[in-house]
């Protein structure tokens, strides 16, 4: 532990980036990330075994009043007799085939992948020297993260990863309130340690503060992931914005960015809730998006299901159409989408997850030029349907109309994606109307041609002061339809 802390200090002392926000503001979003637009998140771990409710099973099974508490007793027995640790031998991952995963994710059209390295439950999905409770020594007895990295990179996908370790400070704490297997004394390296009382999740000053022992452990664990697996981007979940993490987080980011320079890579940290100083990493929005385009680059993380990040037996799945519409909207506003799937405990990808990924991939094969390598246009959107800004706003699918259109640009082309293509094939793009007053900053270019991605029909089009009117006869689609508008 202390030897590693010395290494961390030495790297920062000798490196370009120092552990202060002024230095870390020299960060730049990697160019590949801004071009990639679409990535895959993977929540898979011990919490996948019970297949109940959501990925917070390790907390909820010890929280009286939560459905998982009673479910656990009825299904597995009292928590004192069968605790969360007893799921580890059941997590055999006998069907886990990283090459098959990588091929499917490549087929989805994703360009980068974030397998979760460690979730709130404290089980490391990789080979570790910090704790014996890891997938290499227990459960599957495989270096899951390492195998996935190798398979993903063979398919040309960029390897990234995430740590949700911060929340483990309190995640098992409720297990101390009654007779369970979460018992003192607990010490560093134990699976349940430290199991502290649960704070107010949103209070940045909530007590009990994470102590130095836990914060050092968090820092070293994360640096081990950086050094052993060299992720191109590192993602943190919400609780690292607590004030106690701030000096350790600065140190972690400086260490990571300096290591990236050593590798010849621009790396990045995705963060939520102003955990990092603005401009020193990539802004992350959970299960939501911005209503308007932003001058900074950002990412939304969402999932194929509304009610869980991991596989359960009661998933409320989105449709691929809904996800594609969200992807288009996010990209038009200067963002990326990170879409989560949840494999089953045996390592198989659920059929519905796989089908959704394949359908997204089929759409991107045809329309990808309107997504990848694009930039925002002077307008991101037009139409009556208003996007809700903020986190956790994806509970219901939007009902888009023929007038809801999103824009991107690349080269000499403006791409206009009609989110709900009309049966009569008639579309008016108001943002491309002829300019009546040249002093008003509207589009004042010359349209050379209009074509439709994925369709042979040549649309009839004309432009006047009302907009660019487009008419098709044979184009039918349940998915968004993209017009490629070439400028002279």
pTM of the model: 0.98
What does the pLDDT look like over 255-305, one tens digit per residue? 999 999 999 999 999 999 999 999 999 999 999 999 999 999 999 999 999
E runs forming strands in 327-369? 335-341
pLDDT at 441 (0 to 100): 66
Residues ≥6 apart with Cβ < 8 Å to 38: 108, 109, 110, 111, 327, 336, 337, 339, 364, 371, 372
- Cα Rg of the chain, angstroms: 24
Tell me whether residue 397 is exposed, middle or buried, using C-beta atoms within 10 angstroms of its C-beta: 0 to 12, 13 to 18, 19 or more. Answer: middle
CA distances (Å), origin 218, targets 11, 43, 122, 327, 344: 18, 20, 11, 33, 28
**Nearest CA among 254, 261, 251, 276 for reference residue 230:** 261
**Nearest CA among 341, 310, 285, 394 for reference residue 119:** 310
Domains of the chain: 2-286 (3.20.20.80), 381-487 (2.60.40.1180)
Those residues of the chain that have pLDDT short of 70 are 438-439, 441
What does the pLDDT look like over 400-429, one tens digit per residue? 999 999 999 999 999 999 999 999 999 999
User: In this structure, what token pair is assigned to residue 431?
Assistant: 């943002």
């Amino acid at each position: 532990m202390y030897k590693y802390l010395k290494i961390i200090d030495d790297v920062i002392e000798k490196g370009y980036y120092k552990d202060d926000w002024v230095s870390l503001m020299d960060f730049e979003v990697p160019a590949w990330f801004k071009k990639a637009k679409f990535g895959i998140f993977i929540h898979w771990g011990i919490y996948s075994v019970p297949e109940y409710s959501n990925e917070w099973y390790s907390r909820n099974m010890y929280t009286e009043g939560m459905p998982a508490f009673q479910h656990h007793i009825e299904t597995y027995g009292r928590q004192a007799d069968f605790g969360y640790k007893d799921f580890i031998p059941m997590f055999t991952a006998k069907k886990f085939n990283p090459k098959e995963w990588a091929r499917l994710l490549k087929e989805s059209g994703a360009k980068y992948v974030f397998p979760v390295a460690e979730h709130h439950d404290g089980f490391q999905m990789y080979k570790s020297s910090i704790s014996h409770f890891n997938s290499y020594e227990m459960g599957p007895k495989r270096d899951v993260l390492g195998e996935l990295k190798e398979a993903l990179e063979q398919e040309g996908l960029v390897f990234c990863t995430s740590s949700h370790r911060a929340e483990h400070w309190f995640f098992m704490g409720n297990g101390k309130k009654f007779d369970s297997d979460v018992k003192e004394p607990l010490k560093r390296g134990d699976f349940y340690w430290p199991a502290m009382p649960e704070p107010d999740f949103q209070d940045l000053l909530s007590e009990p503060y994470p102590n130095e022992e836990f914060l050092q452990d968090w820092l070293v664990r994360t640096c081990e992931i950086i050094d052993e697996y060299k992720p191109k981007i590192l993602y943190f979940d919400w609780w690292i914005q607590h004030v106690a993490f701030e000096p350790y987080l600065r140190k972690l980011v400086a260490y990571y960015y300096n290591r990236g320079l050593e590798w010849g890579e621009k790396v990045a940290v995705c963060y939520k809730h102003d955990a990092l100083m603005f401009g020193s990493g990539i802004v992350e929005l959970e299960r939501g998006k911005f209503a308007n385009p932003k001058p900074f680059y950002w990412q939304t993380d969402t999932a194929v299901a509304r009610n869980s990040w991991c596989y359960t037996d009661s998933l409320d799945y989105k449709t691929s159409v809904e996800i594609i519409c969200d992807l288009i909207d996010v990209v038009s506003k200067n963002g990326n989408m990170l879409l989560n799937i949840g494999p089953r405990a045996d390592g198989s990808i659920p059929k519905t997850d796989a089908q959704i990924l394949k359908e997204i991939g089929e759409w991107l094969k045809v329309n990808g030029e309107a997504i990848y390598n694009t930039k925002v246009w002077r307008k991101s959107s037009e139409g009556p349907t208003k996007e809700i800004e903020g986190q956790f706003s994806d509970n219901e699918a939007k009902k888009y109309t023929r007038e809801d259109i999103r824009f991107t640009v690349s080269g000499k082309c403006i791409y206009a994606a009609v989110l709900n293509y009309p049966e009569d094939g008639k579309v008016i793009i108001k943002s491309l109307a002829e300019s009546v007053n040249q002093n008003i900053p509207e589009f004042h270019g010359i349209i050379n041609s209009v074509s439709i991605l994925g369709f042979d029909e040549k649309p009839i089009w004309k432009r006047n002061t009302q907009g660019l009117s487009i008419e098709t006869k044979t184009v039918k689609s349940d998915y968004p339809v993209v017009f490629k508008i070439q400028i002279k």
